[in-house]
Structure 1
Amino acid sequence: MMSEVASEPFAPCPAPFNMARHVLQAGVSRGSAPALSVLGPLGARTWSFDAVRAAVLGTATGLLRCGLAPGDIVLMRLGNTVDFPFAYLGALAAGLVPVPTSAALTEAEVVRIIADLAPRAVLRDPDVACPDHPATHMTDALRDWRGLPPAAFHMGDPDRLGYVIYTSGTSGSPRAVGHAHRAIWARQMMFEGWYGLRPDDRLLHAGAFNWTYTLGTGLMDPWTIGATALIPGAGTTSGDLAGLLAAHDATIFAAAPGVYRQMLNAGAPPDLPLLRHGLSAGEKLPHRVRAAWEDATGTPIHEAYGMSECSTFISSSPRHPVRAPQVLGHVQPGRRVALLGDDGPVPLGAEGTIAVHRGDPGLMLGYLGAEDETAARMQGEWFLTGDQGSMDAQGAITYLGRHDDMMNAGGYRVSPIEVEQALLQIPGITGAGVTDVEVKADTRVIAAFYTGPAALDDAALRGYAQTKLARYKCPRLYIHVPDLPTGGNGKLLRRALRASFEAKQ
């Protein structure tokens, strides 16, 4: 048996099609029902489905009145406010191509994006770094546009360019990922394959408005099915989230793994009788965090694996929960996924590169301006993720880390994820990052960087590791650090750990 799952194909995307129309269509029958509540310490500000639709289509009118035409690229430099989703969907409704970007980018980084894409307009929050652009529209104008008469949805080929997002390249150079309007159609495979989402749900996402994880899982997907999105207001801390879940009757909670860890560190969550489960994505969820959350709340966390090029396509779900520490989940219904070696799918149980079929409706159109790099990620009919995994006889997929994060120890390839999961079982360790470091010319060893109240005894750490891991997997160095470096989306930056260590040698 080989490591390949080919589900029944998902229904094809209808044509003509518009992504924003698809997101807002269920809300037409919901009218005055709450679509979005922004949660703050003094209560919530709520928008009905009618109000969201009016804001989006009024924004579309404002953009078109600026002289923009379907297909024009619009760069978004907006902060953590509702301006972000309204502008994003407004641009899509008008047939424009929005480019959502992190507010944390520096002006120099934005200069490179502008040089890459030559946007026709920039939508900007004055508090967000951005160089001057001749067609800049500030947030005051965007807010005024919400009251304009509604524009008609620009309908067209579902395969046409819909939006562009930037992803960190393995080379360290960000890449522009082009997605078609049909990408939103593919997200329906997550509703049962990951979320267990229902129209009566109240989904609270812990992220900021201007994070694509929040934009998709926290806003567009609930609206697509007619559910209510709950988003914490700017300034909300991890310690506030448990109270918000309880106070606002959240039924599903979505966050990055680090948020769950921080919430647990802040103390036991209150009773959450309406919460059915949590969702986790962005990086591997430590098994200890999953178990601690279940013990504290009585609810499971369902994890998903995906990437900027194809969102999520492997996940645990209420129908197919997983318990094993390293297992991500199963291929979502409608997807076709394989674990590839040099000659195609590898045997069950063997390590291979996680790959998604190039016919998946959620797969990117390509890296804009980088056709060679796009082609390099394709192997015949497969798109190579660059991540490693294995599949068991039941189709459950275990994550073994990124190909470029994999370490080499005496000729054996070692996953940092596996070592980190083992170390996180040690009392006194609150976080762990593992990578290989150069200790002298041509000599690399595995190093474990860990956080906790105090440094632990190296000999005791080595002894524990040897009881959990093969000797070649055990770290040679243990380094206590005040914190672990993470990117703007909370992902652990193992390369930053390596660079910091080697700079001191």
Structure 2
Amino acid sequence: MPIPDDRLPPPRFNAARHCLAENARQRGDKTALVMAGESGAVSRLTFGQADRAVRGIAAGLLGRGLKPGDRVMIRMGNETDYVLVYFGALAAGLVALPSSPQLTPDEAAFLMGNAGVAAIVVGAGFAKPPSDDGRLWLDADAVAAMKAGPPLVDYADTGADDPATLVYTSGTTSRPKGVLHAHRAIWGRRPMHAHWLGLTESDVMLHAGTMNWTYTLGVGITDPWACGATAVLYNGPRDRGAWPRLIEMHGATIFAAVPSVYRQILKYSDLAAYDLARLRHGVTAGEALSPDLLAEWTDRTGIPLYEALGMSEVSTYVSSGPTIAVRPGSPGRPQPGRCVAILPVDGPPEPLPPGETGLLAVHRSEPGLMLGYWQRPEEEAAVMRGAWFAGGDLASLDAGGYLWFHGRNDDLMNAMGYRVSPVEVESVLAAHPDVAEVGVAELAVRADVRVIAAFVVPRPGAEPDADGLLAWCSERLAGYKCPRSIRFLDSLPRTANGKVQRKRLAETQG
């Protein structure tokens, strides 16, 4: 059945206004964002300052000739201006395209061309390309001038269904696909505030991710601001033991990370040395939370840990949380107000009964669901099944409504919470002169840890060189897409039709 009307956003809705305008009016002097840096350095931004800066950036972007609907690509590190430019684009009625600073020049160029980017906003370390094809190029000085310039009087009068954000994720081809979200996507996040995050305006949310990741932009920034809470991010040097110190220093009441970060905290931190009394619970997503890690965390800290399942196309919609009891091995139940079903892999899209495995599906009336895939109608058609969106996850719902994940119906991999297409990695390795054939798959290195591995058949006469192939990948792929292991084989396992059997690769010894 469709989403009830009381869960739908108002017809005229701007996501940036939703997160900032009322906060600036009611709690303008309250800290909205804390950036924790090296050696205890801290910078703070109030809601009033954020609102003023975002409207200044919005006016500056429009004043430079951009039109509503134009795409604005953000290429920055973990810095405050990343957030302000993102919300500034939304405030102006433009479409923000967050990107990773790990992208190689070729990867970034593909996104610019595929999205028809009109403007690129960069941080330190990003040089202007030899040819920008007439795109507007804005650096830190330009951003500072826009923030100080005259602001928009009000946020753009956008519709709830107007495009707001374009996020690129791995598809089934060798190139990433754009997931286009409307302004209503932020409204669609509301069920997770109570039922996963337990988030209120009195909270301090510390997120362990970087801003280019939708998990961080959503849970780390958007959700706290939508609730009037304070967001804390870290942009200091890599330090696996930093998180308990930051939790204590900033009085974090909620901590968000991927499971591997919780594992690192338990391994590298002296938890007894820190006061974690204000931390009400931790939340995790991006990777499956193993029952062993859950048990160790709760036994050693006494602090609840709540998991969620989501994806770029619809965010997190299944979870445990303050209102949904934890059941080890399951990410939880569909949050109240969500319309979720299990569909047959083949045949009519009629929901299956409890206990049967099929495609995990979300009703198309869900306000958090994407508008569609950018210029990829064939992939969009593949995931839309009647009144349902089914993204390829295989799962079942038990009699109590808890979801049990059974893998993917395709070959997409999960690398530290990022979906990665094996085809994209294979196409890079296949271009190496010493590679005759290659297959890429996930490889289990521990019961709850999986990495990307490449299985290579060398060309006749070539000397196997794993380090050289890894370096080749690092020059052509973002770091999170690169294999962590190279295995050499005499041949790849194939079907009778000649297709590489990726699921058998991880069972192959090389």
TM class by smaller structure: 0.7 to 0.9
**Any residues of structure 2 matched to 1:411-426 within 5 Å, and which?**
423-424=447-448
2:335 and 2:478 map into 1 onto residues whose CA distance is 28
- Partners of 2:454 and 2:485 within 8 A in 1: yes
Is residue 2:109 matched to residue 1:111?
yes
SS in 2 for 1:177: strand
Q: For residue 405 of structure 1, report the CA deviation from its aligned partner.
A: 4.6
**Residue deviations 1:280-334, cap 9 Å, x none?**
1111122222222112221111111111111111111111121322x11010121
Is residue 2:425 matched to residue 1:391?
no
Letter of the structure 1 residue corresponding to residue 170 of structure 2: S
Aligned to 2:383: 377
2:343 and 2:453 map into 1 onto residues whose CA distance is 24
1:20 and 1:72 map into 2 onto residues whose CA distance is 16
**Any residues of structure 2 matched to 1:442-457 within 5 Å, and which?**
none
Among 318, 321, 326, the residue aligned to 2:325: 321
**Any residues of structure 2 matched to 1:90-169 within 5 Å, and which?**
90-128=88-126, 131=129, 132-133=131-132, 134=134, 135-151=136-152, 152-169=154-171
- Partners of 1:73 and 1:117 within 8 A in 2: yes
Aligned to 2:342: 339
- Partners of 2:71 and 2:95 within 8 A in 1: yes
Q: For residue 237 of structure 1, report the CA deviation from its aligned partner.
A: 1.8
SS in 2 for 1:116: helix
Q: Which is further off, 306-315 or 265-274?
A: 265-274
Letter of the structure 2 residue corresponding to residue 37 of structure 1: V
Q: For residue 192 of structure 1, report the CA deviation from its aligned partner.
A: 1.1
Aligned to 2:65: 67
**Residue deviations 1:246-273, cap 9 Å, x none?**
1111000001111111111103323311
- Partners of 2:29 and 2:47 within 8 A in 1: yes
Among 245, 249, 257, the residue aligned to 2:251: 249
1:183 and 1:49 map into 2 onto residues whose CA distance is 21
Instruction: Name the CA shift for 1:372/1:300 in 2 (closer, same or farther; >3 Å).
Output: same
Is residue 2:310 matched to residue 1:309?
no
2:341 and 2:206 map into 1 onto residues whose CA distance is 32
Aligned to 1:38: 35
2:451 and 2:73 map into 1 onto residues whose CA distance is 34
Q: Which is further off, 182-191 or 233-242?
A: 233-242
Q: For residue 212 of structure 1, report the CA deviation from its aligned partner.
A: 1.8
- Partners of 1:9 and 1:335 within 8 A in 2: no
Among 41, 59, 74, the residue aligned to 1:76: 74
1:432 and 1:374 map into 2 onto residues whose CA distance is 28
- Partners of 2:294 and 2:328 within 8 A in 1: no
**Residue deviations 1:149-174, cap 9 Å, x none?**
22121112211111101011133420
Q: For residue 404 of structure 1, report the CA deviation from its aligned partner.
A: 2.4
2:115 and 2:298 map into 1 onto residues whose CA distance is 45
Instruction: Name the CA shift for 1:339/1:18 in 2 (closer, same or farther; >3 Å).
Output: same
Q: For residue 352 of structure 1, report the CA deviation from its aligned partner.
A: 1.0
Aligned to 2:270: 268
Instruction: Name the CA shift for 1:6/1:399 in 2 (closer, same or farther; >3 Å).
Output: farther
- Partners of 2:182 and 2:370 within 8 A in 1: yes
Instruction: Name the CA shift for 1:129/1:166 in 2 (closer, same or farther; >3 Å).
Output: farther
2:251 and 2:92 map into 1 onto residues whose CA distance is 35
Letter of the structure 2 residue corresponding to residue 98 of structure 1: A
Instruction: Name the CA shift for 1:176/1:436 in 2 (closer, same or farther; >3 Å).
Output: closer
Instruction: Name the CA shift for 1:381/1:239 in 2 (closer, same or farther; >3 Å).
Output: same
- Partners of 1:7 and 1:333 within 8 A in 2: no
TM (norm. structure 2) is 0.79
- Partners of 1:107 and 1:129 within 8 A in 2: no
- Partners of 1:190 and 1:313 within 8 A in 2: yes
Letter of the structure 1 residue corresponding to residue 318 of structure 2: I
SS in 1 for 2:309: strand
Count residues with an aligned counterpart. 436
**Residue deviations 1:458-489, cap 9 Å, x none?**
xxxxxxxxxxxxxxxxxxxxxxxxxxx9x979
Is residue 2:50 matched to residue 1:52?
yes
- Partners of 2:281 and 2:303 within 8 A in 1: yes
Identity among equivalent pairs (%): 41
- For structure 1, which runs of at least 5 residues remain unmatched after alignment? 408-415, 425-430, 440-484
Q: For residue 397 of structure 1, report the CA deviation from its aligned partner.
A: 0.3
Aligned to 1:288: 292
SS in 2 for 1:238: coil
SS in 1 for 2:337: coil
- Partners of 1:56 and 1:89 within 8 A in 2: yes
Q: Calculate the aligned-residue CA RMSD, in Å.
A: 2.8
Instruction: Name the CA shift for 1:103/1:349 in 2 (closer, same or farther; >3 Å).
Output: same
- Partners of 1:177 and 1:368 within 8 A in 2: yes
2:412 and 2:147 map into 1 onto residues whose CA distance is 48
Aligned to 1:481: none
TM (norm. structure 1) is 0.80
Aligned to 1:401: 407
Letter of the structure 2 residue corresponding to residue 423 of structure 1: A
1:22 and 1:489 map into 2 onto residues whose CA distance is 34
Letter of the structure 2 residue corresponding to residue 48 of structure 1: T
Q: For residue 274 of structure 1, report the CA deviation from its aligned partner.
A: 0.7
1:229 and 1:503 map into 2 onto residues whose CA distance is 52
